Structure 1
């Protein structure tokens, strides 16, 4: 989904809030996102971070929150 992110960088990216691993995903608009792989702040709550031109935007205030 996000082939422009270098593999070495993918290995070290983490959610800035809970420090869980980030996994490739697709957002509701069809764009590439990184999803937090674990609960973030509350049980069942996760964060989604958009990718702009191959650059992950890992700002908590700009993340989309969703439930699993």
Structure 2
């Protein structure tokens, strides 16, 4: 994924514990708080909202886009 939060259409789909994440889904998702684009952290299995300073978890290949479930970023 680029720094703009958009994915490269020719790149291999990101992997989760349960397999690849649908690239179209990643492109469609935005932060529910700020409506800003998200970046994908494969190592932590999170979608990062720099605008909201939150990291939304991905569990079982499903992004959990709830503020109460998000981790606050420093």
TM class by smaller structure: 0.7 to 0.9
TM-score (norm 1): 0.72
Runs of 4 or more above 3 Å deviation: none
If asked which structure has higher relative contact order (CA below 8 Å, sep 6+), I would say 1
User: Where in structure 2 are the equivalents of 1:1-68 lying within 5 Å?
Assistant: 2-3=14-15, 4-25=20-41, 30-36=43-49, 38-40=50-52, 46-67=53-74
Aligned length: 58
Question: Runs of 5+ in structure 2 lacking a partner?
Answer: 1-12
Q: Distance in 2 between matches of 1:52 and 1:2?
A: 14
Which has more strand, going by share of residues? 1
Question: Runs of 5+ in structure 1 lacking a partner?
Answer: 41-45
TM-score (norm 2): 0.67
